[in-house]
A and B are shown apart, each in its own frame.
Chain A
Amino acid sequence: MTVRGESAGHQWVDDHAGPVVRPYAVTRGRARPVTGTFDLISLVTATRADVSAEIGLGPEHVAIVGLCQRRQSVAEIAAHLDLPVGAIRVLLGDLVARNLVQVREPRTSAGLPDNSVFEAVINGLRAL
């Protein structure tokens, strides 16, 4: 079978068949990231334009860096790569350890944000 593009693959493996590569294979069996916690809405930005020449990274690492040229949340990365969030956290831990991405954690403990944030969101929604 020729493997050119996704459409060819989909003839043979549909969503119900599950992923071709299991998530634990993508993370090389690791269940937890080497560093970081990574909330679903932590924002990730790549620090480099291209990391395909880096040694020791898998294709998913490279894909994350490519995706995060524009700032993305952890949830978005997981959705775009079609991998469970747990696997994405492991991969992000690797990238943080190599300083290839920057992560901005959201506020989670200090209660609600101040009025300026609320007002900005309300105005932004009205302008949609």
Chain B
Amino acid sequence: MDYGPSERPAGATPLPTAIKILVAGGFGVGKTTMVGAVSETRPLRTEEVLTESGVGIDDLSGVESKSTTTVAMDFGRITISDDLVLYLFGTPGQDRFWFVWDELALGAIGAVVLADTRRLADCFPSIDYFEGRGTPFVVAVNCFEGAKQYRLDEVQAALNLDSGVPVLLCDARQRESSKEVLITLLEHAMKSRDARRVAD
């Protein structure tokens, strides 16, 4: 499905488009910090009420029973133009919320996997998830003060990444740095889509 059925008159403003990018990674790695650094407002929080089966995310009938869980997602908005809005969603950290990830990842144009070199293994599940889904992603190493600095090729080797996956250093608190991560992701997503088209 695409936007813009052609019945609108010539010269009219294009129909609004919303796109989303996910920010994933382990607990406390700076996902919400990065969302806040580039968003036009402070990060917002939205909640899904889930039943234990994970089916029927909308099912509110058992809200007070023990079999329901609330999953919170932090997100931010960047208005690119009148008809183009970018949303950044921090993914819920716990692995048992994969079905929320499935909803989030549907239609996402790409993902940032934030990594902390002190707890590198925390980002493995995110990387596995996006590799498995074929979602374009970059790995951004959040530079925490006091953490030992590794070279990017060392991180790439430790994460066993395909050589095509960009790995870069960032400071998730800084707007400029977080912008650079998003731009790198968008360029990578464009390239990987073109490569896939050639392969088809």
B87 A41 Cβ-Cβ under 8 A: yes
Q: Quick check: which of A46-54, A59-67, A118-126 contacts chain B, the rest being far away?
A: A118-126
- Other than the given A110-B1, A112-B193, 15 more pairs (CB < 8 A) read A40-B103, A41-B19, A42-B18, A43-B18, A73-B18, A73-B77, A78-B46, A85-B57, A86-B48, A86-B59, A90-B58, A110-B2, A112-B109, A113-B17, A128-B78
- Kindly state whether residue B11 has any CB partner on chain A within 8 Å: no
Most A Cβ at <10 Å: residue of B38, B48, B80: B80
- Kindly state whether residue B106 has any CB partner on chain A within 8 Å: yes
Residues of chain B within 8 A (CB-CB) of A104 are 3, 15-16, 18
Residues of chain A within 8 A (CB-CB) of B149 are none
Interface residues on B, range: 35 or more
Cross-chain pairs A/B with CB under 8 angstroms, 10 sampled? A27-B60, A33-B58, A41-B19, A43-B16, A76-B77, A90-B58, A105-B1, A107-B1, A110-B1, A112-B193
A73 B179 Cβ-Cβ under 8 A: no
A-B residue pairs, 5 tightest by C-beta = A124-B80, A108-B107, A79-B44, A86-B58, A41-B18
Secondary structure class of chain B's binding surface, majority of residues: mixed
Residues of chain A whose beta carbon lies under 8 Å from any beta carbon of chain B:
22-24, 27, 29-33, 39-43, 71, 73, 75-76, 78-80, 84-87, 89-90, 104-113, 115, 117-118, 120-122, 124-126, 128
B190 A84 Cβ-Cβ under 8 A: no
Given A40-B104, A117-B84, A121-B84, A76 and B44 contact (CB-CB distance below 8 Å):
yes
- Kindly state whether residue B186 has any CB partner on chain A within 8 Å: yes
B179 A125 Cβ-Cβ under 8 A: yes
A128 B84 Cβ-Cβ under 8 A: no
B44 A108 Cβ-Cβ under 8 A: no
Complex Cα distance, B149 from A75, in Å, reads 37
Residues of chain B whose beta carbon lies under 8 Å from any beta carbon of chain A:
1-3, 15-20, 38, 44-49, 56-61, 63-64, 70, 73, 75, 77-78, 80-81, 84-87, 89, 103-104, 106-107, 109, 136, 175, 179, 182-183, 186-187, 189-190, 193
Given A78-B47, A106-B17, A112-B189, A43 and B85 contact (CB-CB distance below 8 Å):
yes
Complex Cα distance, B19 from A126, in Å, reads 17
Residue of B nearest to A33 (CB): B58
B59 A31 Cβ-Cβ under 8 A: yes
Most A Cβ at <10 Å: residue of B38, B182, B190: B190
B179 A128 Cβ-Cβ under 8 A: yes
Residues of chain B within 8 A (CB-CB) of A120 are 80-81, 84
Given A24-B63, A122-B183, A106 and B58 contact (CB-CB distance below 8 Å):
no
Residues of chain B within 8 A (CB-CB) of A41 are 18-20, 85, 87, 107
